[in-house]
Amino acid sequence: MEVIIQPTPEAASQVAARLIARLFREKPAAVLGLATGSTPVLLYRELVRMKLDWQRVTTFNLDEYVGLAPDHPASYHHLMEENLFRHVNIHAENVHIPDGQAQNIPEFCQGYEAQIRAGGGIDLQVLGIGTDGHIGFNEPTSSLASRTRIKTLTLETRRDNAHFFGSEDAVPRHVITMGIGTILDARNILLLAFGDHKAAAVAGAVEGPVSAMNPASALQLHPLVTFVVDKAAASVLRKTEYYRWVYDNKPNWQRA
Ligand code: PGA
């Protein structure tokens, strides 16, 4: 795992945007896995500002709330549209987000997995991390081999996300999310985390044991994972000096 520590969320988002820009240069028909929540919003702003060419890019989002219509202001369809898709030249048919209103959820989930496979697999998956270590909406105790499916949110996540809905009670109980196995199939993984409320989850993911109690720790099993975090989210890590040393001594060809 590589851990890149930046002074601010803005600086971290710029590093992440440069990694995505490099992927688009190398592979204009890239398949990008995308995340929602508050964390990637700065990254999307930076990607929009960079005016990249999204003409041949395909995207798959990690998750969506069950029961929300795409135009619900707290839906992830809406968040993606407002923060990224309506500002770039991506083709609507290349955008994939789980359908929170699917009538047959298991069938929809199988189809979503099939679409990812048919698209050639995900080249780079962007992730946030929950305060409980979730990636996508794979809450603690999720199977590390899980695939796209319905999940029930923890009380902690519903509390964390209440600000999107106005109240905790309004946060849906269920979601559709790519599984941890689905995420681990991506060729590269880029996880962003900002703020001291994420510090314990980040430390558990990078330096803790691999455990379903911190789903992000499963990323230790993947060969190409980059955590880009701000100083606050790095504050509980024990090997920060080493991570900084690695970054400062990167060979030029590895730099974004
Ligand atoms: P946040 O959520 O970006 O809103 O903090 C992260 C996540 O739940 O993955």
Ligand 1 contact via 130 beta carbon (within 6 Å):
yes
Q: For residue 143, how far is its CA from the centre of ligand 1 (angstroms)?
A: 20
Both tokens assigned to 228: 């880009």
CB atoms within 10 A of CB 132: 19
pLDDT computed for residue 256 by the predictor: 66
Cβ-based neighbours of 244, under 8 Å, separated by 6 or more: 5
Q: What angle do CA 71, 41, 242 make, to 5 degrees?
A: 150
How many separate domains does the chain show? 1
Q: Which of 46, 50, 37 is nearest to 129 (CA)?
A: 37
Collect the ranges in the chain with pLDDT lower than 50.
Answer: none
For the chain, report the end-to-end CA distance as a whole number of angstroms. 16
In a domain, 60, yes or no: yes
Q: Which of 167, 165, 172, 164 is nearest to 64 (CA)?
A: 172
In a domain, 247, yes or no: no
In a domain, 158, yes or no: yes
pLDDT in tens, 63-91: 999 999 999 999 999 999 999 999 999 99
pLDDT computed for residue 251 by the predictor: 86
Beta bridge partners of 175: 65, 151
Half-sphere exposure of 106 (CA within 13 A, CB side): 0
In a domain, 185, yes or no: yes
pLDDT computed for residue 255 by the predictor: 73
In a domain, 117, yes or no: yes
Ligand 1 contact via 177 beta carbon (within 6 Å):
no
**Residue among 36, 39, 79, 134 to mutate when testing ligand 1 (max atoms within 8 A of CB):** 39
In a domain, 251, yes or no: no
In a domain, 241, yes or no: no
Domain of residue 121: give its range. Answer: 2-231
Report the predicted TM-score, pTM, of the whole model to 2 decimal places: 0.97
Residues with catalytic roles? 63, 132, 134, 139
Measured torsion, CA atoms of residues 106, 112, 202, 252, in degrees rounded to the nearest 10: 160
In a domain, 48, yes or no: yes
Ligand 1 contact via 172 beta carbon (within 6 Å):
no
Ligand 1 contact via 38 beta carbon (within 6 Å):
yes
Ligand 1 atom nearest to CA at 194 = 5
Please report, for the domain that includes residue 37, its CATH number.
3.40.50.1360
